[in-house]
Every structure is written in C-alpha cells, then in structure tokens.
Structure 1
Amino acid sequence: MSQRINAFAMGNKAVNALHHMGSQVQHSSLDSSFLELLYFRVSQMNGCAFCLDMHSKELRAKGETEQRIFLVSAWRECSFYTDREKAGLLWAESLTSLHGREISDEIYSEASKHFSESEMVDLTMAVIAINSYNRINIAFGAEVGTYKVPETAQ
C-alpha cells in the first residue's frame, strides 16, 4: 500500500496531542529501552510494519540484543526478560487485546507488584499511545523502511 496521508506532518491538533502524550511517557520514570521493547511487542500484535521497523531500529540503537528483539513474542517462555519486563509486557498485551473484556485482578496484581501506581498510569498511557500510532500508520499507509534513528538518540 502506498502512503495515503502523512498524518504526522499535517499539524493536526489531535495527532499533535497524541505526540505530546507519547513524549510525556518517554520522559516518565519508565526505562526507555523497556518502552521500546513494549512498543515493538504491541506493534507485532497489531501488524504495524512501520512501527516494527522503527522500534527495531530504536532498540538496536539502544544496544538491545537481537535475541531479545526476535523472541519478544515468546517472552513467557524466555528466561532473559526480567520479571518487571514480563509484568509490563503482560499488561501491554492485555490492554491491546481487550476484546470487550476487563483486565483480570490477577493481571493487575502481577503488574502492580513491579510498577508503582504512577508507573502503572504511565505504562497504560504508553500502551494507548503505541496502539494509536499503530492504527494511524496502518490506516494511512506509512512508508515502511524509511525510519531513521535520530542521531541524538544513538
């Protein structure tokens, strides 16, 4: 699919608000490498090729190993993710695949063992942001493969 609209270059107020929300999460107490891993996993679930390309490049620039990137969809079966990362990925997957269901008390309890109340809100906002970015990129046909990691991020 070719790009239909570049929603991020239009100056649209709603898209700008989403960008601001995502920026606030990036400046929260949550680890930026963990957030990239979370963004990558949610983008896998949503099938957003643009975001997979982007976040795989960001992860590599932050020094993430290929093994952890390649196997994040099987994080439950891997020993090289921390309990905190596993709890965050569980929370992210649960929020991404709601299908009209509530988040169970067990999932909330597991996540809240590893994240403070403030971090739980930031984590939830991060999941909301990446799901929104995925949907915008899928709807408007973002050009896959064009993302370059900003030099300041490397």
Structure 2
Amino acid sequence: MSHIREPRRIPPPLRLGIFIAEKVTGKRMEPARILSWHPKAAVSSGVLEALVSHKEKGISKRLLQLVRMQVSVMVNCSFCIDMNGKEFEKQGITTEEVEALQGRRKLEEVPSFSRRERVALQYTRELTSTPAVGNGTTIRRMKRHFDEKQFVVIVSTIAQVNYWARLIKGLGVPPAGFRPDCSL
C-alpha cells in the first residue's frame, strides 16, 4: 500500500491519460493516480515518460532495458524493478546478467555483456550514485562507443528512470505485478 491514497476525484484530462497508461501496460498505474493530487506534477511526469526512448537507431532495446534495470536496482525501487524487468526473457537478459546488475558479479565477469553494454552500465552506475560522478575515463569510453545523439538518449534514460524511481519510492508505491519474481 502506498503512503497516501489516490484522490477520490481525478480531473477528466488526467483520467484519460491514466486510462491510456493502464490500457498500454495492462496494470493499474498507481503512481499516475496518486500524482493526480497535483495535476502539474501528473502532466509533467506524463510528458517526461512520453519522451523516453525505448528504441533508438544504433542502440538496442536490450541496452536501454539494461540501463533502466541498473537504475531501478541501484535505487532499490521494487515497482521499477517489477516494471522494467517485465521483458528480461524477450531481450535475452540472463540470470548471470541480472546478478551483475544487482552487484553480485562484476560487469567484466559476464561475457554476454557487449563492450557497449558494459560502458553504458558503468556510466549508469556513476550517474545514479550519490553524489553523481562523471568519471573522465568512462565518459571517454562512452564517446568512443556512442555518437552524440546516442549519448543523450542513454543519459536521458538514466535521468528519467532515476526521477521515476525516486518519486515512486517517495510515494511508497508497491510493485504492480508485472513479474511474479520482482524481489530486491
């Protein structure tokens, strides 16, 4: 159960957005419902979500999925782990790779990660840590593996998932049931 309940009356434009989100996900989207207490927060969060890349030329869906999951695990957001982990199998993410995202294995010890995935995950870890770090070596590696647009897509994905994870943790929203095994 979340820290606060959703409002009894949700403004019609927000109800439409929630209806669409729930239709797309097939789940009750409690974060959107709770954000209805403050329509500006609900609308701005919806716009942010609409702008995130789930596919981009030159970046695999798998890489973006790994980045989203790395943030979700680091911030310890069970709702985010549940939602972002729903397509592991479809993206070919292995148990060994999940263990690396959880910090139980080093990224370098997992041969199935590509070089690009390793550097993107390292940068994700640096930007998600507190305080956020911009290691010059990692940035140079990112620039070797990704062009400017891809760099922006990866960094904005990291920032977007951090936003949602911290918002959802702050509201105390539990997992929505995308995966039966979404334990931390």
Fold conserved between structures, TM > 0.5:
yes
The CA RMSD measured in Å over matched residues stands at 2.0
Distance in 2, matches of 1:116 and 1:14, equals 28
Same amino acid, percent of matched pairs: 20
Query: TM-score, normalized by length of structure 1?
Result: 0.82
Contact 2:63 2:117 in 1 (8 A): yes
- Structure 1 residue runs without a partner (length 5+): 149-154
Tell me which protein shows more helix as a share of its residues: 1
Q: Counterparts in 2 of 1:63-78, with a 5 A limit?
A: 63-72=92-101, 73=103, 74-78=106-110
Distance in 2, matches of 1:144 and 1:51, equals 7
Query: SS in structure 2 opposite 1:15?
Result: helix
Once the two structures are superposed, residues 98-146 of structure 1 have per-residue CA deviations (whole angstroms, 9 ceiling, x without a partner) of: 5165x13211101111111110011110001110110121111222252
Once the two structures are superposed, residues 58-103 of structure 1 have per-residue CA deviations (whole angstroms, 9 ceiling, x without a partner) of: 21233322222233333133222111101101111111115165x1
Alignment match of 2:67 (pick from 38, 58, 67): 38
Contact 1:18 1:129 in 2 (8 A): yes
- Structure 2 residue runs without a partner (length 5+): 7-29, 180-184
Would you identify which runs of 4 or more consecutive aligned residues in structure 1 move more than 4 Å?
none
Distance in 2, matches of 1:56 and 1:20, equals 19
Matched residue type, 1:28 = E
Q: Residue 151 of structure 1 aligns with which residue?
A: none
Query: TM-score, normalized by length of structure 2?
Result: 0.70
